[in-house]
């Protein structure tokens, strides 16, 4: 009787150090590509917000002034040069939309039809945020006076609420060419009226929050990023 020949079992082999290294490198490249992709996407979204939404409303405001000879809802018979004809009274949402359309001014595309003053986007953690614009006349916009002093002057501004720090920085660079929450045409709420002297050399003035800060506080890094309010000074 012929006996069957059995092959000895092969010894089990694990991953070699080289194989493990290759796998880890591939994983790192994938994660890096995902991270870069997210950054590129957010930068593209910020560019679109700046060029189509924010800049679009700045153009709409200027067209309104050109067509009517007055700023929005000012008294055309006795113009004060102030939005709504008075200090500190905001023009937002339906009131702003309806007045623009009544004067034949086309509106930028916002969140949806009827919601053109708002824009929905994602923060750096992928959570939804809503940017909203209004117009208002402020009485304390800091401007240089003779000498080294600063004084508060009445200026019409676009108010932007719901800006993440990342978006605020990108819009500031777009508007002013640099990030500075105190000086320039775009400023942060409560920094716009700072009358303090300029240091020599000028000190940096970053926006007050970063994308590490949470909307409701705490340390949960999956929560919505904190948002800020800023102003952009209008030409008239």
Q: Give the pLDDT confidence score for residue 7 in this predicted structure.
A: 56
- Separation between Cα atoms, residue 121 and residue 129, nearest integer Å: 5
pLDDT at 221 over 50: yes
- Decide: pTM greater than 0.85: no
- pLDDT of 36 strictly over 50: no
Report the pLDDT averaged over residues 205-219.
93
d(CA 177, CA 32): 29
Handedness of CA 194, 196, 197, 198 (dihedral sign): negative
**Mean of pLDDT values over 119-134:** 96
Write out the DSSP string of 140-182: EEEEE-STT-EEEEEEEEEEEEEE-HHHHHHHHHHHHSS--SS
Q: What is the pLDDT of residues 139-196, one digit of tens each?
A: 999 998 887 678 999 999 999 999 999 999 999 999 999 999 999 999 999 999 999 8
pLDDT of residue 32 exceeding 60 = no
Calpha distance 13→20 (Å, rounded): 13
Residue 14 pLDDT: 61
Q: Where does residue 230 rank: exposed (0-12), middle (13-18), buried (19+ CB within 10 A)?
A: buried
Task: Report whether pLDDT(226) > 80.
Answer: yes
């Amino acid at each position: 009787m012929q006996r069957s020949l059995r092959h000895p079992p092969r010894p089990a082999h694990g991953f070699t150090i080289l194989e493990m290294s290759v796998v880890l490198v591939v994983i790192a490249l994938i994660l890096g590509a995902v991270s870069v992709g997210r950054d590129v996407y957010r930068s593209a979204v910020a560019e679109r917000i700046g060029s189509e939404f924010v800049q679009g409303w700045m153009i709409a405001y200027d067209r309104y002034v050109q067509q009517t000879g007055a700023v929005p809802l000012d008294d055309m018979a006795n113009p004060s040069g102030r939005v709504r004809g008075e200090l500190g009274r905001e023009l937002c949402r339906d009131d702003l939309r309806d007045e623009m359309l009544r004067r034949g001014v086309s509106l930028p595309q916002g969140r949806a039809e009827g919601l053109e003053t708002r824009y929905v986007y994602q923060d750096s953690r992928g959570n939804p945020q809503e940017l909203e614009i209004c117009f208002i006349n402020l009485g304390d916009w800091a401007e240089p006076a003779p000498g080294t002093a600063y004084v508060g002057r009445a200026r019409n501004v676009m108010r932007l609420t719901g800006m993440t720090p990342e978006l605020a920085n990108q819009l500031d660079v777009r508007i002013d060419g640099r990030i500075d929450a105190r000086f320039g045409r775009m400023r942060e709420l409560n920094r716009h009226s700072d009358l303090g002297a300029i240091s020599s050399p000028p000190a940096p003035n970053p926006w007050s929050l970063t994308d590490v800060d949470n909307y409701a506080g705490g340390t949960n890094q999956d929560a919505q990023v904190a948002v800020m309010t800023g102003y952009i000074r209008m030409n008239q």
